[in-house]
Structure 1
Amino acid sequence: MTRLLDAQGLEISHGGHRTRLKWHRLRKRFADPLFSAEVMAEGFAAGASMELDLRVRADGGFVVLHDEDLEGETSGHGPIAEKTISGLRGVLMQEGGRPLILSEDLAAMMQSTHPAALLQFDMKDDYEAIGARGIEHLAAHFRDIAASVIVSAGSLDLIVAVKEKLPHLLRGIDPTDKLYDISKANGWKAVEMELRADLSGPTEPDTIYLHWPLILEAANAGLDMIALCQDEGKRVDAWTFTLKDPEAGFSEEEWLNISALMALKPDQITTDEAPATERAWRRRMMA
């Protein structure tokens, strides 16, 4: 068993169920720089589950960024979709002046990893923007890599295209926004029907990404969304649970929420404070 001081932020356990902790935007801790290649390398060595965002470039390749414009996250300017690889090589991240991670660099970094490592490619553009050329780029660079990859997107058409071109990659969908709207307009029975339709739909997802407050709200109304997904052979990632004070651990409100969430047995929780969450959980369990 991992000692308290050696907690790496990989998983927490409750009632015999193990829940992985996914490092959000390649950050093991919130203090880490956004989309850190160094943290990603650490995660690859430790067998961590990690997530990064991808934006499509004008040449069909990708860059690891969240926003559609370069302002804010980088030293550059303008829409990423208008930039080519040559136009991005000199652009630096705002935090630390680090070079951007391009998809070509990412593929090279993934040639040797821990067998348990899992990297989520969260595609921020839809299929109309990425198109067949972008899918071909993914196929050319990520067909033969050591790490396991799961491709997620809000665009179901994009996930279907990935399935057809790269069937060996895992796939994930996030119906959260849609399900929130349905719950408000038509109630939780309608949410259940829509979620079941997504689970059996053409994307054939491995993992369903759901906002953790939505999961708890549904559970309070009598709908166990996690059990529903798991009964259909799907994993559930509950996003994004981040401690407000990582040194102090869970506040009482956070403890009530994480306890209720863990009782529902999610397969994974997305967090910006993975080691602190693991430490805080162990402290409560030991107490």
Structure 2
Amino acid sequence: MRYVNFLYQGTATLGVRTAEGVRVLGQESLESLLKRGVDLSTYGASAEGPLVQVGEHDYLPLLQQPGKIICVGLNYADHTKESPYAQPDYPTLFPRFNSSLIGHNQPLVRPRISDTLDYEGEMAVVLKSGGRHISKADALSHVAGYALFNEGSVREYQFKSPQWTVGKNFDDTGAFGPDLVTADELPEGGKGLLLETRVNGKVVQSVNTSDMLFDVATIISTLSEAVTLSAGDVIVSGTPAGVGFGMTPPAFLKAGDVVQVSIEGIGTLSNPVVDEA
């Protein structure tokens, strides 16, 4: 089942994607369904709303108020090699804020105070349940589904201090969507999928999700040692090599660029780049 959050008649609306279009479910949010314990793999089949074609600019972030967005850094060895860091033996974790989120086809905004906006194509994991001290063996039973994320990073601010949070949370830099694909439609743990990022049509990142150093089950289990996870939480699982910062010379995003993140079986997330007004 594939869920889409979009504007319909001026209101945020949830729908399920079909071969003919998107079937309207209603105005209850995806995060509300998850908190109610709804089984997303079957719930969408009951949709009886109109079949619509979503306008190019009507997509919204899949979840607009997730409880937590937790990102994983340095989770592909090739990306660590192009960074100024040594490979850690424990997941590198940092938060994202809801205020940074944008949807499919919405603009990534290069802030007026820096010209170092960079892309990071990643697989996002949305939880349907949580708890503390979740075993690795049970971790994947807590996953509702998978989605695409472009973890836009303002490098100048990311590297101003040992903590990356500011550079990872500028408004309108975290693209999330367009579809949530339920876990039953993908390989266990989202493994074995081709992830690619393109800038203006050129492939700049290409990796198999099996190459993650800390897989989805390990990340969930490790997080739950310290943090109570909840339905509707989002884990952004890390980016591979090929970011603009790692190029010689660095190739940061500029107004007019278009960034596309694709993952086999999930789809494509596309965003134009604009300068902050």
TM-score (normalizing by structure 2): 0.24
- Pair member with larger Rg: 1
Relative contact order, CA 8 A, sep 6+: which one is greater? 2
TM-score (normalizing by structure 1): 0.24
- Name the structure with the higher helix share: 1
- Name the structure with the higher strand share: 2
